[in-house]
Amino acid sequence: MAGVNKVILIGNLGKDPELRYTPGGQPVCTFSLATTERRTDKTGQKKETTEWHNIVFFGKTAELVNQYLKKGRSCYIEGKITTRSWDDRDGNKKYKTEIIGNTVQFLGGPAGAAGSSASNATAPDAVAAPEPDFDQSSPVEPGPAAAGASDDLPF
């Protein structure tokens, strides 16, 4: 039986997107997305849990995401979950779980955000990413600044 690997997220960007290029010139855009679940526990206390997701877009969609999304902006994302591994400079095996996006919809920015209504007016409503034409099993390796980024979340 075939499996299904589909992720749907609605959340806010934790930092501005970062656009880089593969050695072959393919655009790659990465950013963190926060999803927050609010609930009331058995004692009536309101609880809030935030999960952080590493998002990756390729191609023209990567360039559009980089152009229109900024820290704090809301968006809807569809994609698939992947985990990649690499050896760091000390030879330790590192793992990173990411959402490889294939569709993004730009939603309204946070209340009072500068330029959020202007971005909504010019940004496309939804963008579907074509399948990348290169091997995704070895996406762009994190640079020196990004290597420790998952350990240094901006809370």
The residues with which 103 forms a beta bridge, in sequence order, are 78, 128
Residue 118, pLDDT score: 32
- Within-domain flag for 155: no
Q: Are 125 and 108 in contact (CB under 8 A)?
A: no
Angstrom distance (rounded) from CA 122 to CA 133 = 28
- Within-domain flag for 11: yes
Per-residue pLDDT of the chain (155 residues; tens, 9 = 90+): 899 999 999 999 999 999 999 999 999 999 999 999 999 999 999 999 999 999 999 999 999 999 999 999 999 999 999 999 999 999 999 999 999 999 999 998 544 344 433 333 344 555 555 544 444 444 454 444 444 444 544 44
Could you tell me how many residues make up the chain? 155
- CATH of residue 37's domain is 2.40.50.140
Domain encompassing residue 15? 7-41+48-147
Residue 55, pLDDT score: 97
- Within-domain flag for 1: no
- Within-domain flag for 152: no
Residue 1, pLDDT score: 85
- In the chain, the number of structural domains is 1
Residue 115, pLDDT score: 40
Q: What is the pTM of this model?
A: 0.69
- Within-domain flag for 2: no
Give the per-residue SS3 of the chain.
CCCCCCEEEEEEECCCCEEEECCCCCEEEEEEEEEEEEEECCCCCEEEEEEEEEEEEEHHHHHHHHHHCCCCCEEEEEEEEEEEEEECCCCCEEEEEEEEEEEEEECCCCCCCCCHHHHHHHCCCEEECCCCCCCCCCCCCCCHHHHCHHHCCCC
- Within-domain flag for 116: yes
Residue 79, pLDDT score: 97
